[in-house]
Structure 1
Amino acid sequence: MAPRPLAPARPPSVPLLALAGAVTVANLYFPQPLLAAVAHGLDVSERAAGLLASLAQIGYALGILLLVPLADSARLRRLTSVLLALTSGALFVAAAAPDVLTLALATLALSTTTVLPQILTPVAAVLAGPDRRGRVVGLVGLGLTLGSTLSRTVSGAVTDASGSWRVAYGVAAVATAALLLVLPRRLPERLGPPGHGSYAGLLAELPRLLAVHRELRTSALVGACAFAAFSVFWSVLAFHLATPPLGYGPGAAGLFGVLTLPAALLSAAAGRLADRYGATAVNTGSLVCAGLGLALAGLAPSSPAALVTGANLLVAGISSCQVANQARIFGIGPAVAARVNTVFMLATFSGGALGSLAGSWLYGAHGWPAALLAAGACVAVAGLVVVAGARPGVPTCGGGVTREAGGIRPRIPQGES
């Protein structure tokens, strides 16, 4: 028996979900500017402190794989409360860590449990209903972008003002714990039907979802290629800026994060465009925008203005592409929303990791032009996937049916939010 559609969210819910996503995703990124201070404070090498950034990414990937699928069948309020409590507890442990081993274990724990952004995004999409799905996904995605970008600036400022990196961890712990007072009670009790199989069954179904749903395959491949291009650019930008004739220090690469905020803000409009014109049209325009950004950065590699403009075009394009991809997959059906997001994010994350590795190697071997050519090739492949995925044939979620893990059933109309 098909589950009843969830009641639409009240208007304050979307800003709250965006804020909660920003606060929790910030836990992954705010420590990055503090690594030198951590190394000095704990009397370890910068290389040892740098491993904390890698542990954060590993933990986040584990959390996406092992925890996000639970949102399809677990009690959302309880799951959210447990994750927030565990994350804030791990942040407090990190703030008081007496040595780098304790800090490393705390980092792995908090990054594994701070996966609420990947739970809140499908929740917001399901609550919004089909007519506003893209818009709401775009707004929540904007919160995640702002949280990941501004958290570095805030943590650096807090550390400079207080003289201790531990204070930044303490502030993050308090902010995360504060969400416990507000967020769980504003969520629906469940996203999907209760008792939707065992935990092992939820995980085992992930490959089947990818095999069954063409929409998911398209979004996963496009997301992986697009994020690979994005990661190639950002993984080598600091090296390029440091070489003559530019000769900028590390702070310049960090400044690019702030300088691309206009592009991040503009990308929120991609959700409305996806609702109106479809995810394929937005994917196409976004990839063209990203390609233009890479071309500009490649044609004028010594011009700061060209690099900033190119970075903004790239951020706008890739962020908009992400919104369109998620709008597409959340049309598959509310019963599998968290699991399709798990598959999509794992593919995107893998593409980004491969892009970072390839970018660093290509830059070291052949320089800036080779790295940008590789990024451009990734964008081109993503474009081919979009074209192939738009072929008529198999019914998609833009039609009158909704494809779910158990087969195809008539779409259930949802209320508007």
Structure 2
Amino acid sequence: MTPLPLLRPRTSARPGATAPAPAPPNVLLLAVAGAVTVANLYFPQPLLAAIARGLAVSDRTAGLVATAGQLGYALGILLLVPLADTARLRRLTGLLLALTATALLLAAAAPNVVTLVLATLALATTTVLPQILTPVAAALAGPERRGRMVGLMGLGLTLGSTLSRTVAGAVSDAAGSWRAAYLLAAAATAALLWVLPRALPERLAAADRPRVPYGRMLAGLPRLLGEHRALRLSALRGACVFAAYSVFWAALVFHLAAPPLGYGPGAAGLFGLLTVPAALASAGAGPLTDRHGAGPVGRRALGCVGLGLAVAGLAPSSPAALGVAAGLVVLGTSSCQVANQSRVLGLGGAAAARVNTVFMLATFAGGALGSLTAAWLYGTYGWTAVVAAAAGFTAVGLLAGARRPRVA
């Protein structure tokens, strides 16, 4: 496979030459790697009730594990993802995988909730490979197929985030301990060390492109946000939809464990399995974005999230209704993410990783706010307040930019 000029290592390839599309096995590997690494953020969610019991803390305190994961991911996006514009990708990838696997092992051995929260913060900071791999895949695809490629990567991330809940719940039930899920995640992350770095280009940028100092890269992030209204709109909508998503999923495990449902971690994790059809369907948002633009696709996706929340609010004690609601929330969130990310990666050029940094930082800051809101709201006011808060975030996303000319 001959990489595009944006991705070529040190070579004498003729400038402007057209590169063939990436080989499917490489695309598959990038998607699988994204799924495995993003799973590290989400597999603890069905374990929170078991963690609370095992470490003798309240459900609200155990919810800090989910919050630490979102905050750590946002921190890693800010500090580490911009490096992809200039760093050696293979070396950076190997280092991040090794650090994440080590932090997962520390979390598995955590003697108390403070240690677990700190280990979660560390592993979430270094498990940011999905946001490095997505710009690589988008650059390989070219502008005509960018949305499709982002959709395929998004499918991997969605499957990783949803199925990880199922696997973690099943492993926890089978082993009789939530720690077993952390050990499995550490092994899966470490396994990528053998295959992923060698499958990447040496650099995201051309070798002869002037290097931007690290400090200047970080200092220039706000300028990117100020220069592009499309980036501002995508960042706001991404933050809103992911806040709604995190509110729903972070509270769902407690809602399922409480009367009258009374389900354990394994049953709670099965709700991730129920959303697999929705995750598969969300891949269609990529071609739709290529064809119709990010604006229409994103608005309809937010409407899908709102519909799911309405179902969850109207039938809070029905497992079937909650399963349908979970699928709609996953479908809407993933489709909105694909549309927004495809739009911002089209702005990036030589700063693709930095533009993605700004977008994803806003998105996961919204996710951290959602997780924190869920832990507090559910413990104080219950499921109805959780659904109302998620609906409020969704409404803000729908209203964003409504009074200005639409951005495609």
> 3-state SS of the aligned residue for 2:205?
coil
Cα 1:275–1:354 change in 2 (3 A) is: same
- Is residue 45 of structure 1 aligned with residue 25 of structure 2? no
The SS at the match of 2:143 is coil
2:365 aligns to what? 350
Shift in alpha-carbon separation, 1:166–1:326, aligned structure 2, 3 A: same
Are 2:348 and 2:354, in contact at CA under 8 Å, matched by a contact in 1? Answer: no
> Is 1:72–1:335's contact at 8 Å kept on the other side of the alignment?
yes
Counterpart mapping for 1:175-190 below 5 A: 175-190=188-203
Partners of 1:304 and 1:124 lie apart in 2 by 38
User: Tell me, what secondary structure is at the counterpart of 2:125?
Assistant: helix
Displacement of 1:378 in angstroms is 2.7
Closer, same or farther in 2 for the Cα pair 1:158/1:368, shift >3 Å?
closer
1:20 has 2:20 as partner: no
Match of 1:116 among 121, 124, 129: 129
Greater CA deviation, 191-200 or 260-269? 191-200
Contact 1:280 1:386 in 2 (8 A): no
2:143 maps to: 130
Deviations 1:228-265 (A, max 9, x none): 22233334445555677x44435554432222222112
Cα distance in structure 2, aligned partners of 1:285 and 1:277: 12
Q: 1:1-400 maps to which residues of 2 (within 5 A)?
A: 4-6=5-7, 7=19, 8-34=21-47, 44-47=55-58, 51-95=64-108, 105-162=118-175, 166-193=179-206, 194-238=209-253, 240-241=255-256, 246-251=260-265, 253-359=268-374, 368-385=383-400, 387-388=402-403, 390-391=405-406
Matched residue SS, 1:379: helix
CA distance in 1: counterparts of 2:284 and 2:22, whole angstroms: 20
Q: Deviations over 1:48-68 (max 9, x none)?
A: 766544433332222111101
Give the letter aligned to residue 121 of structure 1: T
Aligned length: 388
Deviation larger for 73-82 or 309-318 = 309-318
Letter in 2 for 1:108: L
Distance 1:311 1:349 in 2: 19
Amino acid at match of 1:75: R
Deviation string, structure 1 residues 315-368 (Cα, Å, up to 9, x no partner): 211210111000100000331111111111121122233334445555566655
Contact 2:105–2:182, Cα closer than 8 Å, also in 1: yes
- The whole-number CA distance in structure 2 between the counterparts of 1:21 and 1:329 is 19
Contact 2:49 2:254 in 1 (8 A): no
CA distance in 1, matches of 2:329, 2:201: 36
CA displacement at 1:269 relative to structure 2: 0.9
Cα RMSD of the aligned pairs, angstroms, is 3.1
Residue by residue, what CA displacement relative to the aligned partner does 1:19-60 show, whole Å, maximum 9, x if unpaired? 00111112223344556666777xx42357665444333322
Q: CA distance change for structure 1 residues 74 and 377 in 2, over 3 Å: closer, same or farther?
A: same
* Contact 1:222–1:386 (Cα < 8 Å) also in 2: no
C-alpha distance in 2, partners of 1:269/1:49?
A: 36
- The secondary structure found in structure 2 opposite 1:188 is coil
Query: Tell me, which stretches of 5 or more residues in structure 1 are unaligned?
Result: 393-397, 399-417
Q: Residues 185 and 389 (structure 1 numbering): CA distance in 2 closer, same or farther, change over 3 Å?
A: farther
Checking the alignment, whether the CA contact within 8 Å between 1:125 and 1:133 is kept in structure 2 is yes
How has the CA–CA distance of structure 1 residues 158 and 200 changed in structure 2, closer, same or farther, with 3 Å as cutoff? same
Query: 2:103 touches 2:122 (CA, 8 Å); kept in 1?
Result: yes
Distance 1:362 1:117, change over 3 A: same
SS of aligned partner of 2:346? coil
Q: Does the 8 Å contact 1:218/1:389 carry over to 2?
A: no
> How big is the shift at 1:127?
1.1
| CA–CA separation in structure 1 for the residues paired with 2:385 and 2:115 | 40
Secondary structure in 2 matching 1:332: helix
Distance in 1 between residues matched to 2:49 and 2:292, nearest whole Å: 47
Could you list the per-position Cα deviations for residues 72-93 of structure 1 after superposition, in whole angstroms to 9, with x for gaps in the alignment? 1111111111111222233344
Paired residues of 1:214 and 1:389 also in contact (CA < 8 A): no
Contact 1:87 1:114 in 2 (8 A): yes
Which one is further off, 165-174 or 273-282?
165-174
Q: Give the Cα–Cα distance (whole angstroms) in 2 for the partners of residues 78 and 362 of structure 1.
A: 42
Distance 2:71 2:236 in 1: 21
Instruction: Indicate how the Cα distance of structure 1 residues 307 and 168 shifts in structure 2: closer, same or farther if over 3 A, else same.
Output: closer
The worse-fitting range, judged by mean Cα deviation, of 324-333 and 152-161 is: 152-161
Determine the C-alpha separation between the residues in 1 that align with 2:46 and 2:327: 22
The offset of 1:273, in angstroms, is 0.8
